[in-house]
């Protein structure tokens, strides 16, 4: 079986989108993460934590980004897209690793209540 260079490059890019290394932490789709971001409030730099499930990882190289979804008050879903090389991203903690069978968990958007927090 011969692999053309284009096919081999596609396989490597496909594998790269399954996980991302963020602040020396390996994050996969389906993992529950807690992200600490920095923001300016006047003259002070403050920290804010955003916790949720990684539902997608897109791109390659410096353009790689990942989407985190959490369920806020009253069952409203909130999603944020973070670039991997974002300087305002302070810390990444993987709270729970989950095994999923999909590269993108967009079906989680349709889930309601407790179903939305289980992967």
Confidence of residue 108 (pLDDT cuts 50, 70, 90): confident
Condensed to tens digits (0 to 9), the pLDDT of residues 38-62 reads: 999 999 999 999 999 999 999 988 8
Q: E strands within the chain?
A: 19-22, 25-28, 32-41, 44-58, 65-71, 77-83, 89-96
Which among 58, 9, 55 is positioned nearest to 32, based on CA atoms?
A: 55
Alpha-carbon span 76 to 60, nearest angstrom: 30
Give the model's confidence band at 117: pLDDT under 50 very low, under 70 low, under 90 confident, else very high: low
Q: Position of tokens 């079906």?
A: 107
Which residues constitute the domain of residue 65? 5-117
What is the Cα–Cα distance from 61 to 23, expressed in whole angstroms?
A: 14
- The CATH number for 65's domain is 2.30.30.790
* Residues forming beta bridges with residue 96, ordered by sequence position: 32
User: What pLDDT shows up at residue 20?
Assistant: 87
Tally of structural domains, the chain: 1
pLDDT band (50, 70, 90) for residue 10:
low
Give pLDDT, residue 70.
92
Global pTM?
Answer: 0.80
| CB 61 within 8 Å of CB 73 | no
């Amino acid at each position: 079986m011969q692999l053309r260079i284009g096919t081999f490059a596609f396989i490597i890019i496909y594998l790269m989108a399954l996980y991302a290394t963020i602040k020396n932490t390996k994050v996969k789709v389906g993992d529950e993460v807690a992200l600490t971001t920095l923001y300016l409030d006047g003259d002070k730099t403050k920290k804010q934590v955003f916790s949720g499930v990684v539902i997608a990882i897109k791109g390659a190289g410096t353009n790689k980004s990942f989407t985190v979804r959490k369920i806020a008050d009253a069952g409203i879903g909130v999603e944020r897209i973070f670039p991997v090389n974002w300087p305002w991203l302070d810390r990444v903690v993987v709270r729970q690793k989950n095994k999923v069978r999909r590269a993108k968990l967009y079906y989680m958007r349709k889930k309601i209540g407790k179903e939305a927090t289980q992967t």
